[in-house]
């Protein structure tokens, strides 16, 4: 019965948690994932801050709990039509679903590092991203990372940056940089590691402990300053220019590896899908919500909800909590509609 059908778009942590909760409540949940695997970015990450648990420890139970949910991978939503009290959703696999509610858990895209040309991603071999480094931690194999002796991390890549059109903070990349700085010291104990930051936003519970561990246990250096330019010398080492904004002195350092902490943008695929029913992104690129002071779950369309990073950068616990909260809001919405 269509009244029991709910479509969840996006199989990352928010979509998985919402799908599992809605299934427990007795709904027919259809989970649509465009990639060939569930898990979103979480499935590509190695360990998670602040405790350093393996991503699988979080992801595997989330996936296991969706047993009973009708899941389509490698599938996209190609059209959504609003009917009187439901939505007609057409999938790229030819299936059509009549759903009482739709949840956008479409997540985020990492900022494309090559857009910041001055940092040299895609130009210099030894410039990599936070996502590349996670793959290295998982596989211990990357031809660009061969016993580096001096490693830099650049914070705020594509965030807090007028030039890229994103003035907002991506919230999680300071903690990710500190985590990765510790981890790379575990792999290369003799390496010198420097973080170039604008402000350190270690706001969450136990994040400060992680920062202190990075300094005291691993000897990571933190330099307040923005990198302005990256070049290469004849030995294929990186020449990084920055300004130390605490001492107001220009800096030039030679590095063997530079890691760019790319921030979060709204998912371009999510924006495309939401536009099918006239939902728009705000000036910061994330979806507009009905009343931001009441949380970010309600969209401007009746029966359409959000969860996770589609409405702004979020930590993993926040994302999972929001998936759970979205399930409750959808259940309340359907119950109220039935009683009308």
Interface residue list for ligand SF4 (CB under 6 A): 155-156, 159-160, 169-171, 173-174, 198-199, 201, 261, 263
When the beta carbons of 153 and 306 are compared against ligand SF4, the nearer one is 153
The Cα 219–Cα 214 span in angstroms is 6
CB 115 within 8 A of CB 134: no
Q: Strand 53-54 vs strand 87-91: parallel, antiparallel, or unpaired? A: unpaired
| DSSP assigned state of 340 | -
Non-local (6+) Cβ contacts of 106 within 8 A are 9, 10, 266, 267, 269, 270, 273, 274, 308, 310
Beta bridge partners of 104: 9, 306
When the beta carbons of 106 and 176 are compared against ligand SF4, the nearer one is 176
When the beta carbons of 41 and 100 are compared against ligand SF4, the nearer one is 41
Q: How many CB atoms lie within 10 A of CB 28?
A: 19
Least Cβ distance, residue 198 to ligand SF4 (angstroms): 6
When the beta carbons of 103 and 156 are compared against ligand SF4, the nearer one is 156
Least Cβ distance, residue 226 to ligand SF4 (angstroms): 10
Least Cβ distance, residue 234 to ligand SF4 (angstroms): 32
Helices (H), the chain: 13-24, 55-64, 130-139, 173-187, 207-216, 268-275, 316-339
Least Cβ distance, residue 155 to ligand SF4 (angstroms): 4
When the beta carbons of 18 and 173 are compared against ligand SF4, the nearer one is 173
Least Cβ distance, residue 313 to ligand SF4 (angstroms): 8
CB 46 within 8 A of CB 52: no
Least Cβ distance, residue 160 to ligand SF4 (angstroms): 5
When the beta carbons of 199 and 209 are compared against ligand SF4, the nearer one is 199
Beta bridge partners of 153: 195, 259
């Amino acid at each position: 019965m269509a009244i029991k059908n709910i479509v969840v778009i996006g199989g990352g942590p928010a979509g998985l948690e919402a799908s599992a909760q809605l299934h427990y409540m007795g709904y027919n949940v259809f989970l649509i994932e465009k990639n060939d695997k569930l898990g979103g970015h979480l499935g590509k990450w190695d360990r998670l801050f602040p405790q350093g648990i393996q991503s699988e420890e979080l992801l595997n139970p989330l996936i296991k709990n969706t047993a009973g949910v009708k899941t389509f991978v490698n599938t996209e939503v190609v059209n959504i039509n609003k009917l009187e009290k439901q939505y007609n959703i057409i999938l790229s696999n030819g299936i059509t679903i009549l759903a009482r509610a739709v949840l956008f858990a479409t997540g985020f895209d990492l900022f494309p590092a090559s857009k910041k040309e001055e940092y040299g991603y895609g130009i210099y071999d030894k410039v990599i991203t936070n996502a590349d480094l996670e793959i290295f931690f998982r596989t211990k194999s990357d031809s660009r990372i061969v016993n580096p002796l001096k490693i830099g991390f650049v914070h705020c890549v594509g965030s807090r940056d007028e030039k890229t059109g994103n003035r907002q903070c991506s919230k999680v990349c300071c903690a990710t940089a500190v985590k990765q700085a510790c981890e790379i010291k575990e792999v290369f104990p003799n390496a010198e590691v420097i973080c170039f930051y604008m402000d350190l936003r270690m706001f969450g519970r136990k994040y400060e402990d992680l920062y202190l561990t990075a300094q005291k246990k691993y000897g990571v250096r933190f330099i307040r300053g923005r990198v302005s330019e990256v070049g290469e010398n004849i030995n294929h080492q990186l020449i990084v220019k920055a300004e130390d904004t605490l001492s107001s002195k220009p800096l030039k350092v030679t590095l063997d590896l530079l890691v760019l902490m790319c921030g979060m943008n709204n998912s371009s695929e999510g924006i495309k899908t939401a536009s099918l029913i006239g939902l728009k992104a705000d000036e910061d690129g994330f979806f507009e919500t009905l009343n931001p002071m009441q949380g970010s779950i309600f969209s401007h369309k009746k029966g359409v909800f959000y969860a996770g990073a589609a409405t702004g950068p979020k930590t993993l616990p926040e994302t999972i909590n929001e998936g759970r909260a979205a399930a409750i809001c959808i259940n309340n919405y359907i119950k109220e509609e039935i009683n009308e």
